[in-house]
């Protein structure tokens, strides 16, 4: 039963499913047919509606087009009608206006022609009248101005002539003073020569008196010794001997008294000679002071002349400018009168300055330095011109300052001179105070050289900057208190001179000017510079000027005028002066020590003559004392070298200084051997050899850059000392001595040394008999 129920249920479900699917299929089929039918009906009705709408729209568009064409046609017809009527109206109006304008222009043209003819006639009549009046006025005014200008030019010519005459007088006075100075210098030199001759005569007389006195003392001592020997050798029995001895003693005492009186007279004479020498020295000092005062006066006069020349050139430029302005600006009367007044006032100022300069030249120098600062209270002109051309009657003295209208060119020139003067003052101040060094070069020398090169002072015909530089150098050198200051100024002046040597070349005009300076000193420094160039280029030795200026190119060198050439000569003279002062001071120091070195062996020889141990000890002490003298010489050389190196003196000058000092030492030592027999000994030769070894060690330590050929300057004394120290002199022939030992010495010098030689240590012989007997 359950299965059936289950079967029935399954079948029922299957039936329901079949029915549902069939019903769905049928309903879908019906729906599709309905849908197609509805779509067809809708499509048909929509197409019909669209055709109806299209037809309606086509009719509306046709109606619009018809309306547009009809309206356009009606509007065009109305426009054409209005256009024709407006053209007709405008044509009539324009024709009427044109006729009116034509009529107006004809009337205007006629009136212009009438007015032109009338004005032309009127202007011609007025022009004729004004032309006649202006010609009359111009002729009268130009004649008056020309007369004033002629009067003014005549006054200017007279003023210029007066200034030139004053300048010529001052130049003549300077020449007279320079001539007097030269005469006084020559007189001073003659007095110094005469003084030196008198001193030598007095010294020779003193030496003769001393020799006579020594001979008298020696004679007295000999007579006393002879008397003692006679007393000792006399037999005791003779009774008359005391009487004879008393007579001899009386004679000796009388002779001694006479010698003492002679000695007293000699001393009084020596005191008188010393007094005379002191008076001569006072006179020479007074003459030197007078010469210095006159040098200063000459320098002041030269500066005054230079300033007068600048004032004269300023006046000439002012006159030229005023002439041009007076010729060009004839119509401007006010400017003319003002310029004339200013010119007359300036001429009056310059005349007063000239009078002051002529009466008192020393203070006038300060007044001429800045002529622009002077604003004197001057008189107004005697004929003061008003604007309308009339003049005032009488001149009036006024205490107020008249303000002169400045002229453009004059004020510009005065400002330039003021600026130049300020630059010169700054340069002189830096030269005197700036002690710096830049790359082992004095900064002051480089600043001065570049400033002069920038200002074109080397090409100037007239300038006072060179005199001021030389005056500054001279005052600094004269007031130098130590060798360090002299070394600084030697470095500065030599550097500046080397820069000028490589920059300047003498012009044709400057070579014609007579050279009053000494040519020997200039040639010496020129030779030193040339030798330094050749040595620095060939041997690789520094001359101290490397890096300053390149090679001297003749195309880029400046053609120097006379002031620059004169400045170069003066600078050369001061370089030589400073160089000679330092060299002579070193010679004086060394000569004082050399005398001790020459006298030292004699004392040692006297002490060494005894053979005891005490004498040997004293001889060792004397050798140590004598070596101290040579060490002192080396200390002097080191001090001088250190001073020069600290001030960066060029090595060229240092080499020259030491070579000349060594030559001086060579002469002194060699003359001591030739003139004094006590110095021409074996022990003295050893002593000199030890000293020469000290000098050789110093030259090797100093190097060739500073020592140079100093060691070669001692050839004479070196060969002479080698000959003295030689042990086997008697075995040497004359040819061996002259060719090998002493090639520099002459035969007469070798002969004198050989004959004067004596061996105080070993007792050896000197020259052989053949050499001594050979002809000199």
Of the segments 118-127, 444-453, 487-496, which one has the largest average pLDDT value? Answer: 118-127
Asked whether residue 572 falls in the same domain as residue 627, the answer is no
Band the pLDDT of 300: cuts 50, 70, 90: confident
DSSP3 helix / strand / coil % (the chain, rounded to 5): 80, 0, 15
**Contact of 564 with 463, CB cutoff 8 Å:** no
Domain assignment of residue 474, yes or no = yes
Asked whether residue 449 falls in the same domain as residue 584, the answer is yes
Asked whether residue 567 falls in the same domain as residue 640, the answer is no
Identify the residue with better confidence: 76 or 502.
76
Domain's final residue, options 568, 588, 608: 588
Letter string b/e over residues 566-579, b meaning 16 or more CB atoms within 10 A of that residue's CB: bbbbbbbbbbbbbb
Of the candidate ranges 231-235, 458-462, 497-501, 518-522, the one whose mean pLDDT is the lowest: 518-522
Domain assignment of residue 478, yes or no = yes
Task: Provide the mean pLDDT of the chain.
Answer: 75
Domain assignment of residue 86, yes or no = no
pLDDT value at residue 10:
93
**DSSP code string of 663-694:** HHHHHHHHHHHHH-GGGSBHHHHHHHHHHHHH
Count of residues making up the chain: 776
Domain assignment of residue 760, yes or no = yes
Residue 144 confidence (pLDDT) above 60: yes
- Number of compact structural domains in the chain: 2
Listed in sequence order, the residues at least 6 apart from 688 whose beta carbon sits closer than 8 Å to its beta carbon are 669, 717, 721, 724
21-74: per-residue pLDDT in tens?
Answer: 999 999 999 999 999 999 999 999 999 999 999 999 999 999 999 999 999 999
Residue 522 confidence (pLDDT) above 50: no
Domain assignment of residue 516, yes or no = no
Letter string b/e over residues 204-216, b meaning 16 or more CB atoms within 10 A of that residue's CB: eeeeebeeeeeeb
**Contact of 634 with 702, CB cutoff 8 Å:** no
Listed in sequence order, the residues at least 6 apart from 505 whose beta carbon sits closer than 8 Å to its beta carbon are 554, 557, 558, 559, 560
pLDDT value at residue 29:
94
373-412: per-residue pLDDT in tens?
Answer: 333 333 333 333 333 333 433 333 333 333 334 434 445 5
Asked whether residue 665 falls in the same domain as residue 565, the answer is no
Asked whether residue 497 falls in the same domain as residue 569, the answer is yes
Residue 497 belongs to domain spanning: 434-506+557-588
Asked whether residue 645 falls in the same domain as residue 716, the answer is yes
Domain assignment of residue 720, yes or no = yes
Asked whether residue 574 falls in the same domain as residue 656, the answer is no
Asked whether residue 580 falls in the same domain as residue 708, the answer is no
684-743: per-residue pLDDT in tens?
Answer: 778 888 888 888 888 888 888 888 888 888 888 888 888 787 776 667 777 777 777 788
Asked whether residue 629 falls in the same domain as residue 583, the answer is no
Domain assignment of residue 206, yes or no = no
Domain assignment of residue 581, yes or no = yes
Asked whether residue 667 falls in the same domain as residue 760, the answer is yes
Asked whether residue 579 falls in the same domain as residue 497, the answer is yes
């Amino acid at each position: 039963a359950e299965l059936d129920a289950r079967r029935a249920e399954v079948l029922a479900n299957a039936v329901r499913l079949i029915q549902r699917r069939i019903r769905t299929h049928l309903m879908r089929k019906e729906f599709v047919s309905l849908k197609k039918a509805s779509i067809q009906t809708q499509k048909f009705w929509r197409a019909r509606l669209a055709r109806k709408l299209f037809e309606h729209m086509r009719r509306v568009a046709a109606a619009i087009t018809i309306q547009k064409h009809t309206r356009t046609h009606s509007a065009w017809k109305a426009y054409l009608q209005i256009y024709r009527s407006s053209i007709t109206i405008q044509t009539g109006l324009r024709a009427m206006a044109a006729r009116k304008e034509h009529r107006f222009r004809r009337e205007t043209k006629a009136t212009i022609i009438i007015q032109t003819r009338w004005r032309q006639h009127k202007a011609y009549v007025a022009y004729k009248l004004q032309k006649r009046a202006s010609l009359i006025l111009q002729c009268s005014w130009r004649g008056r101005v020309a007369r004033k200008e002629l009067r003014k030019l005549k006054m200017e010519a007279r003023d210029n002539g007066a200034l030139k005459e004053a300048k010529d007088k001052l130049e003549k006075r300077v020449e007279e003073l320079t001539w007097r100075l030269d005469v006084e210098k020559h007189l001073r030199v003659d007095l110094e020569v005469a003084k030196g001759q008198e001193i030598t005569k007095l010294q020779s007389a003193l030496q003769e008196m001393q020799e006579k006195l020594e001979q008298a003392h020696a004679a007295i001592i000999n007579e006393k010794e002879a008397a003692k020997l006679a007393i000792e050798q006399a037999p005791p029995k003779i009774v008359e001997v005391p009487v004879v001895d008393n007579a001899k003693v009386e004679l000796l005492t009388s002779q001694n008294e006479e010698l003492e009186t002679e000695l007293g007279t000699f001393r009084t004479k020596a005191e008188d000679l010393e007094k005379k020498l002191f008076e001569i020295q006072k006179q020479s000092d007074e003459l030197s002071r007078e010469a210095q005062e006159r040098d200063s006066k000459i320098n002041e006069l030269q500066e005054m002349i230079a300033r007068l020349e600048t004032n004269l050139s300023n006046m000439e430029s002012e006159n030229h400018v005023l002439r041009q302005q007076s010729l060009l600006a004839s119509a401007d009367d006010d400017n003319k009168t003002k310029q004339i007044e200013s010119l007359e006032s300036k001429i009056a100022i310059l005349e007063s300055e000239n009078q002051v300069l002529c009466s008192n030249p020393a203070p006038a120098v300060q007044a001429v330095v800045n002529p622009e600062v002077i604003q004197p209270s001057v008189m107004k002109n005697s004929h003061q011109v008003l604007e309308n051309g009339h003049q005032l009657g009488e001149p009036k003295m006024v205490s107020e300052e008249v303000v002169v209208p400045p002229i453009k060119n004059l004020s510009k020139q005065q400002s330039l001179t003021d600026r130049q003067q300020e630059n010169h003052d700054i340069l002189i101040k830096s030269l005197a105070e700036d002690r710096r060094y830049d790359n082992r070069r004095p900064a002051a020398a480089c600043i001065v050289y570049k400033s002069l090169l920038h200002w074109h002072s080397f090409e100037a015909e007239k300038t006072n900057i060179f005199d001021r530089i030389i005056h500054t150098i001279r005052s600094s050198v004269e007031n130098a208190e130590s060798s360090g200051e002299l070394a600084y100024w030697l470095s500065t002046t030599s550097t500046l001179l080397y820069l000028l040597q490589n920059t300047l070349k003498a012009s044709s005009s400057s070579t014609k000017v007579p050279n009053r300076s000494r040519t020997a000193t200039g040639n010496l420094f020129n030779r030193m510079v040339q030798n330094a160039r050749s040595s620095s280029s060939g041997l690789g030795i520094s001359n101290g000027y490397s890096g300053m200026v390149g090679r001297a190119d003749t195309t880029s060198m400046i053609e120097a005028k006379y002031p620059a050439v004169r400045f170069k000569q003066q600078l050369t003279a001061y370089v030589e002066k400073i160089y000679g002062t330092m060299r002579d001071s070193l010679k004086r120091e060394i000569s004082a020590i050399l005398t001790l070195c020459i006298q030292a062996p004699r004392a040692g020889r006297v002490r060494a003559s005894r053979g005891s141990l005490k004498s040997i000890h004293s001889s060792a002490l004397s050798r140590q004392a004598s070596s101290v003298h040579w060490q002192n010489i080396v200390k002097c050389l080191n001090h001088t070298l250190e001073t020069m190196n600290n001030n960066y003196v060029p090595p060229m000058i240092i080499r020259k200084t030491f070579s000349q000092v060594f030559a001086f030492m060579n002469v002194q030592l060699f003359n001591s051997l030739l003139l004094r027999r006590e110095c021409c000994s074996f022990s003295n030769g050893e002593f000199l050899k030890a000293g020469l070894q000290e000098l050789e060690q110093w030259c090797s330590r100093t190097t060739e850059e500073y020592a140079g050929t100093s060691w070669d300057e001692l050839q004479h004394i070196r060969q002479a000392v080698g000959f003295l120290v030689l042990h086997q002199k008697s075995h040497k022939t004359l040819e061996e001595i002259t060719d090998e030992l002493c090639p520099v010495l002459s035969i007469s010098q070798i002969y004198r040394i050989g004959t004067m030689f004596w061996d105080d240590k070993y007792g050896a012989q000197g020259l052989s008999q053949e050499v001594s007997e050979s002809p000199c």
